């Protein structure tokens, strides 16, 4: 396992907000992640939540904008944030648009060249990063949840549904719920995975929930003034959950858009939702 390199560390609500880099075996690149360790982690193993961010984000957006540290400290939960793609690889076309390439890994394992060598974000989030966290920090890997926003909400839902042994709880804010039927998802899945629809369905939460179900309630918040709803399609995920008999609490929040102001407004609800299931 690769050595962690400290980037920054700050005390926050008697816990620590830390950022590291390491050499990833999944992406074959240098990856960065943040971890908030609540004060309880000084004396005992604590539950851990993995946050996945949306398009154009890094590991830093949630750390700075979500305002989660106070509540995480009160609940005694660690929060891990990771980058949204490999960086620094200079793959032709990786920075041509905001919805593909750098900052837009879509949490899939790419099958198409030249992306397949490095763009293995599904493996990184579902396997490698949890192993790194469990080996280096005072967290209880058996009490892990996952949540995210937009592209990261898509990632959280698909990763949880496919890994119920590793993640005990899942929630999302304005997630891309049916990427096979949206402009954002369709472009990325075609270029990362090729034109096989079976491969696409492996990263579509609305398709996956019908096939695999989920053992507990799922919480999703969606703003009514979100300009990207045609790319998100929570209605399709709602229908799929109903067909699969999965309990979904889909809350439409009046007047909220797609920004981190929306995320920060409901982050406490999501942390409490996970805390109830991980404790």
Helix (H), strand (E) at residue 10: strand 5-12
Rounded CA Rg of the chain = 17
| Structure tokens that stand for 41 in this block | 């982690």
Q: 12 an active-site residue?
A: no
Q: 259 an active-site residue?
A: no
C-alpha–C-alpha distance, residues 135 and 137, integer Å: 6
In the chain, alpha helices (H): 60-65, 69-75, 121-123, 129-136, 151-162, 183-193, 197-201, 205-212, 229-232, 234-244, 260-278
| pLDDT computed for residue 142 by the predictor | 97
Q: Furthest-apart CA pair in the chain: how many Å?
A: 50
| pLDDT computed for residue 2 by the predictor | 74
Q: 139 pairs with which residues across the strands?
A: 46
| pLDDT computed for residue 279 by the predictor | 86
C-alpha–C-alpha distance, residues 143 and 155, integer Å: 19
**Active-site residue among 22, 149, 154, 258?**
258
| pLDDT computed for residue 27 by the predictor | 98
3-state SS class at 55: coil
CB 171 within 8 A of CB 149: no
CB 52 within 8 A of CB 147: yes
| pLDDT computed for residue 1 by the predictor | 66
The pair phi, psi for residue 264, each rounded to 5°, is -65, -30
C-alpha–C-alpha distance, residues 119 and 130, integer Å: 18
**Active-site residue among 24, 226, 270, 274?**
226
CB 51 within 8 A of CB 79: yes
| pLDDT computed for residue 197 by the predictor | 81
CB 32 within 8 A of CB 58: yes
Q: 116 an active-site residue?
A: no
Give the pLDDT of the chain (279 residues) as one tens digit per residue.
Answer: 679 999 999 999 999 999 999 999 999 999 999 999 999 999 999 999 999 999 999 999 999 999 999 999 999 999 999 999 999 999 999 999 999 999 999 999 999 999 999 999 999 999 999 999 999 999 999 999 999 999 999 999 999 999 999 999 999 999 999 999 887 888 899 999 999 888 999 999 999 999 999 999 999 999 999 999 999 999 999 999 999 999 999 999 999 999 999 999 999 999 999 999 998
**What's the angle, vertex CA 173, arms to CA 170 and CA 177, rounded to 5?**
80
| pLDDT computed for residue 204 by the predictor | 97
Q: Which domains does the chain have, with CATH numbers?
A: 5-278 (3.40.50.1820)
Expressed in percent and rounded to 5, the helix, strand and coil fractions of the chain are 40, 25, 35
| pLDDT computed for residue 182 by the predictor | 81
**Active-site residue among 12, 29, 150, 182?**
150
Helix (H), strand (E) at residue 48: strand 46-52
């Amino acid at each position: 396992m690769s050595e962690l390199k400290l980037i920054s560390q700050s005390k926050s609500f008697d816990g620590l907000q830390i950022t590291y880099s390491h050499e990833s075996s999944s992406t074959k690149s240098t990856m960065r992640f943040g971890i908030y360790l609540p004060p309880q982690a000084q004396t005992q193993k604590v539950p851990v939540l993995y946050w996945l961010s949306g398009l154009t984000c890094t590991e830093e957006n949630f750390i700075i904008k979500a305002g989660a540290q106070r509540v995480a400290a009160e609940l005694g939960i660690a929060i891990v944030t990771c980058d949204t793609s490999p960086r620094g690889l200079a793959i032709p076309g990786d920075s041509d648009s905001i919805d593909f390439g750098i900052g837009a890994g879509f949490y899939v394992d790419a099958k198409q060249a030249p992306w397949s060598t490095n763009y293995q974000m599904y493996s990184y989030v579902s396997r490698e990063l949890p192993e790194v966290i469990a080996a280096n920090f005072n967290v209880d890997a058996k009490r892990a949840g996952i949540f995210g926003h937009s592209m990261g909400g898509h990632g959280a839902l698909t990763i949880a549904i496919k890994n119920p042994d590793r993640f005990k709880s899942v929630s999302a804010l304005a997630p891309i719920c049916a990427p096979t039927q949206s402009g954002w998802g369709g472009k990325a899945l075609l270029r990362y995975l090729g034109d096989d629809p079976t491969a696409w369905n492996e990263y579509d939460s609305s398709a996956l929930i019908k096939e695999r179900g989920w053992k507990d309630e799922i919480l999703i918040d969606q703003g009514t003034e979100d300009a990207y709803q045609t790319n998100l399609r929570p209605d399709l995920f709602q229908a799929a959950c109903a067909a699969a008999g999965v309990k979904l609490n889909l809350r439409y929040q009046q007047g909220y858009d797609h920004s981190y102001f929306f995320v920060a407004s409901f982050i406490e609800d999501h942390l409490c939702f996970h805390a109830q299931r991980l404790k």
